[in-house]
Amino acid sequence: MTLEAGTRLGSYEILAPLGSGGMGDVYRARDRKLDRDVAVKLLPEALWQDGERRSRLEREARLLAALNHPAIAAIYGLEEHEGVRFLVLELIPGETLAQKIARGPLEWKEALSLFHQIAAALEAAHQKGIIHRDLKPDNVKLTPEGRIKVLDFGLAKDVSENPTGENLSHSPTLARGTATGVILGTAAYMSPEQARGMTVDSRTDVWAFGCCLYEALTGRKAFTGETASDILARILEREPDWEKLPAGTPASVRALLRKCLQKDPSRRLRDMWDVRVEMEEALAEPSSKPSARPERVSRPALTAAALLGALTAGLVFWSFRRSPLSEGDSLTRFAVELPAGERLRISSQGAFTMVGSIALSPDGKTLAYIATDGVRSWLYLRRLDQLEASPMPGTEGALEPFFSPDSEWVGFTANGVLYRISVTSGERATLSQMPSIPSGASWSEGNTIVYSSSFRLNRLQAAGGTPLEVKRGEAGVSYHFPYFLPGGEDALVSVLTRQRSHIGVLSLESGELNMLAGLGEGTTAAYVATGHIVYGASGRILAVPFDLEKHEVLGDPVPVADDVYTMPGGRAFFSVSKNGDLAYVPGGEVDRNLVFIDRDGRVVPGSAGPRFASHPRFSPRGNLLSIGGGPGLARDIWTMDLERGTLSRLTADDQNIHSTWSPDGARIAYASGNRIVWRAADGSGETEVLADWERTPFPSSFSPEGSLLAFWERNPATGLDIRVVPLQGDRKPIPFLETSFNESYGTFSPDGRFMAYTSDESGRYEVYVRPYPGPGGKVTVSTDGGAEACWSRDGKELFYRRGRQVLSVPVTTEPAFTAGKPRVLFEGDYDFGTYGDAHYDVSPDGKTFAMAEDETPPPTRVNVVLNWGEELKRLAPASRR
């Protein structure tokens, strides 16, 4: 389809053609509505008619529209006008990098200066989990001011065969069906794993970056050939001609190129942060000396290396594709790495960090895990005979995955609802409301589900329905991590008290609980068909033979795996199949510290907090801090004198979370079961009930004069809602935000005229502000996602978090609310809230942030051990049967 100048597509007037490619023609156009020039890219009708390709395009367009970086060309919209579908893109003046290189090689310092901007752009995209997949000089433009703009991030990739006879150096994305997937990329810049149709991550962009840098320095491509097949063969079998690098190229730049162009991705630079740092070090060298030309590697050596690489790749692939294990098979170990910018979701609620993030199917063929970019999270499934994980649609906000006994379904919770989803079809069914964050679930062969919620155990039919209580928690005692024993009548459970943990066998019919001797301090127990109970304790997995009939352990527990990620509340992050395949998160025992950070992200000198902490809150004067948690497994409220460093316990009944200070600093309000209560901050006097609610309320903010208290809750009908309790009169909670979306953590502005909160109405969590009590429209404060809003005490700033980042936004409330541009203050791996509730606080002077920090970095890998059951038999033989 060709458009003439003057043609109108809605508000866009076509001015002139800019070019064409495999994905459609591109035109310069005028946006008459916003009075700016843009690029309009027409989309082929065939792409739009293909439901899968259209869905992918729409999904990627939404994702890429959120990218906001000076070196990334923006996407303004995906539009349709009278049957014509098109992308509206930022119009970038200037020439492409390919055009610049065509005039001759770049001097190394000029190349590194330009490529440093490309690296920064890719790094920003990778932090959001976006991989370019088609980086090449044609997709990089240089503006007249000398600035870089990277184009075509993952968008409009053609999934048809590459036309024969086309110039492959300028071809659109090449796609080819393979046995394991689809190849996406331009031939000359494709990584070896991309060429093989294997899984791709940020390291694929690192490879393409190296190819482009090599081309910029030499004026020729790193890999060439007459056909796409020739090029791919050279990528897989040969090295670039390193002798073509100019004699003046510093050794540091040569080393950088070699690290980018390692054929084995595990030996390649992992991400663009590493690339950018090495470039900065090379540019900073006071007198970069050229290196001697490397000796040419002989063809026999290259052939041997290629054969060895092919053999290694074949063996690795076989380990994923082999047939079911027999008893004679040996152990097979491998790691499942999450893409750059993602991590396993580890959610915290007080001293108990209970929410699971991995599950291995009973047949040992599928791994389920919850991954997050710090703003959103999804349930991913990874078939162990394949090399790539897939996010499951309809699982955003997922927690606590668990499999059906036939491995065909995965149960999970999201935003207060218990679901199940089909592993094969993706069909999702609602089972029940989940009024509280879960801590363990199990599915029996008789299609009964038992789960822990609100410190008690409930069960329901796998088809859905009304849950029935099995075992209710008592003062200081709670029940977690159920795991059905064969037969489905009894389950292993973890019994947690303020001091320690125990493992017992619970009858689901009678509710009778029998504690197992010798397994104290253990949690997350599971049964394996080898006749063992395995459980977590102190960063390890222990095993002990178990008599199913008598419900007795047979001998002493022995350690069978080390370095297992275990949170302060005792949960060990591992899962076993029926026959004993193992999946676990490495990391060891995690300790959580309270740290004090200045606005530049530095630890405040002389400051130190307790080694247990959650939800820190500064008092109005800033001299005290309230925190949740406690030594061991306690869930109580404490106060810390910041001047003297002393701690005082405010509560002692082990069921108190989410504290907030009254405006005068005299009292602290907190959640205690299904009530909001408050007490004098010095611990004197009696506890007074402010609200007795049907569900657990989470207090978040007093109004400045102290007459109102905002809280949020999980409503079975509408999800997360925000309510307000008047502290005068009947104290009946009244709704502030009660919609079909999830709104949480409402906080009053210092003048009481506005409320900031978190909502997922846009499809992800963002921070909003709206007038209190209304009417009036809302203002979106965050960009690219955000949660955990916190006002400065003078009302001139609003802080929030986005993944690892803490941001500040200048705001005004007079005469109306306005917000400026967010600015990143610092970033780090600090504890974050499950539903947008703040797990940090800012001091009254706005200079200090109280944060909860785990000593172990957030996990980004799952280790898998196949045929681990044989190892159990060897390490923990039964003393008697």
Give tens-digit pLDDT for 372-389.
876 678 899 999 888 788
Residues 447-461 have a mean pLDDT of: 87
pLDDT above 50 (res 71): yes
Task: Return the pLDDT at 758.
Answer: 94
> pLDDT by residue (tens digit) across 589-623?
877 788 999 999 998 887 777 777 788 999 999 99
pLDDT above 50 (res 305): no
pLDDT above 90 (res 811): yes
Residues 65-88 have a mean pLDDT of: 83
Task: Return the pLDDT at 46.
Answer: 65
Residues 144-155 have a mean pLDDT of: 78
Q: How far apart are CA 323 and CA 342, in angstroms?
A: 31
Percent above pLDDT 70 for the chain = 83
SS3 of residue 582 by DSSP: strand
Enumerate the CATH 2.120.10.30 domain ranges in the chain, comma separated: 332-589+864-875, 592-854
Burial class of residue 146 (count of CB atoms within 10 Å of its CB; 0-12, 13-18, 19+): exposed
Task: Return the pLDDT at 453.
Answer: 78
Task: Return the pLDDT at 241.
Answer: 93
pLDDT above 50 (res 155): no
Cα of 327 vs its chain's centroid, Å: 37
Task: Return the pLDDT at 880.
Answer: 42
Residues 651-658 have a mean pLDDT of: 81
By the 8 A CB rule, do 200 and 186 touch? Answer: no
pLDDT above 50 (res 163): no
Task: Return the pLDDT at 569.
Answer: 65
> pLDDT by residue (tens digit) across 207-245?
999 999 999 999 999 999 888 878 888 999 899 999 999
The topology (CATH level 3) of 592-854 is Neuraminidase (2.120.10)
Burial class of residue 623 (count of CB atoms within 10 Å of its CB; 0-12, 13-18, 19+): middle
Percent above pLDDT 90 for the chain = 45
> pLDDT by residue (tens digit) across 177-215?
333 334 445 789 999 988 887 777 889 999 999 999 999
Task: Return the pLDDT at 797.
Answer: 97
Task: Return the pLDDT at 367.
Answer: 96
Residues 51-72 have a mean pLDDT of: 70
pLDDT above 50 (res 734): yes
> pLDDT by residue (tens digit) across 626-654?
998 766 556 789 999 998 889 899 998 76
Task: Write out the E strands in 415-565.
Answer: 417-422, 428-433, 438-443, 448-453, 456-461, 468-471, 477-484, 490-497, 501-507, 513-515, 523-528, 532-537, 540-547, 552-553, 558-561
Peptide bond into 815 cis (omega under 30): yes
By the 8 A CB rule, do 452 and 438 touch? Answer: yes
Q: Which of 25, 35, 37, 134 is catalytic?
A: 134
User: 341 — phi, psi (to 5°)?
Assistant: 90, -10
Q: How far apart are CA 755 and CA 632, in angstroms?
A: 36
pLDDT above 90 (res 359): yes
Mean pLDDT of the chain: 83
pLDDT above 90 (res 145): no
For 8-90, the fitting CATH number among 3.40.50.300, 3.40.50.620, 3.30.200.20, 3.40.50.720 is: 3.30.200.20
Task: Return the pLDDT at 535.
Answer: 95
Task: Return the pLDDT at 632.
Answer: 54
**Candidate from 247-256, 325-334, 485-494 with smallest mean pLDDT:** 325-334
**Candidate from 75-79, 150-154, 443-447, 583-587 with smallest mean pLDDT:** 150-154
Catalytic-residue membership of 134: yes
pLDDT above 70 (res 400): yes
Task: Return the pLDDT at 711.
Answer: 95
Structural tokens at position 269: 């630079």
**Candidate from 313-317, 473-477, 709-713 with smallest mean pLDDT:** 313-317
CATH class of 96-310: mainly alpha
Please, what is the Cα angle at 92 between 86 and 93, to 5 degrees?
A: 130
Structural tokens at position 197: 């149709």
Structural tokens at position 875: 């390490």
pLDDT above 80 (res 421): yes
Neighbours of 728 (CB within 10 A): 7
332-589+864-875 homologous superfamily: TolB, C-terminal domain (2.120.10.30)
pLDDT above 80 (res 17): yes
